[in-house]
Amino acid sequence: MHRLFAIIAAAAVLLLTGCATTINSNVTAFHAWPAELPDKSFVFAPTKTQSDSLEYRNYEQLIRTELLRLGFTDTRDGKPATLKVAFNYGVQTATVVVTQPVYDPFWYGSGYGRWGAVRPWGPYDPFWGQPLQQTAFPVFQRLLALSIERTSNGQKLYEVTVESEGSQATLPMAMPYMVRSAFSEFPGPSGVSRYVKLKLDKPGQATTATTTTAQ
C-alpha cells in the first residue's frame, strides 16, 4: 500500500513538473559476500535470446564498467573466470488515475453574499461538492535484476533488484543510473531496501547520489 501511494505521488509530481531531473530507484540486495575474495575475475552468462540482443550488449557494457570500477577483472579473452554475472531487465506499465477539483466560474458565481459565495441561482450551499475531474496517465516501472555467483559450484554471492518508476518508458536512458544504483555501497547491507536518488548527468559534471534506507 505504501509503495502504491509512493508511485502515485511520484507520478503526480512528474505530471505537474513535466520533466524529471533525477532517477529514483528502490534497491534491494541480498548477499553472502566473502570477507576475502582474491580472484574477482568475472564473465557474463547471457541466455540465447540475450546473446542476440544489441540492447543486452549495451547494458552489459554498463555493468562491466561498474564492476571494473569496483576492482573486478574482465575475462573476455576466454580465460576461466571465478564469478559469473547474469541479469534481466524490462518495463511494466500501470495506469494512475488522479482526481482533482475543477475550477468552474459558473459553479461558484462571481460574487459573495451574506452566506458566502453566490451562485447565479442562489447562495453557496456547503452540501454541494466542488466539481471533480479524473486524469489517467501511464506510469512505467523499470526493472533490473542482477546476480553474481561462483562459476565452480553456482553459489550465489550477490543478488540485487532495482526498481525505478517514471512517466516514460525510457529504459535505455534510465539504465546507466539503475546500474550505478545496483552497485551503490557494494556489497552494502544484505536484505535491506534502499532508496537511491541520482541526478541526471550534465556534460562535464559528475553524478551525485543520495541513498536512504527504507523504513
Per-residue pLDDT reduced to its tens digit, 61-111: 999 999 999 999 998 767 789 999 999 999 887 666 666 666 655 555 444
- State the sign of the Cα–Cα–Cα–Cα dihedral 198, 215, 162, 157: positive
Query: pTM of this prediction?
Result: 0.68
Q: Provide the angle, in degrees to the nearest 10, between the axes of the packed helices 171-182 and 54-69.
A: 30
Q: What is the pLDDT of residue 128?
A: 55
Lateral strand order in the sheet of 132-150? 73-74, 41-44, 83-101, 132-150, 156-166, 22-31, 192-199, 209-213
In the predicted model, is pLDDT for residue 200 greater than 50?
A: yes
Q: Are 23 and 201 in contact (CB under 8 A)?
A: no
> In the predicted model, is pLDDT for residue 24 greater than 60?
yes
Label residue 112 by pLDDT band (50, 70, 90): very low
Q: Among all chains, which residue has been given the C-alpha cell 511494466? A: 92
Is the pLDDT at 7 greater than 50, yes or no? no
| Overall average pLDDT of the 14-40 stretch | 80
DSSP result, 146-158: EEEEETTT--EEE
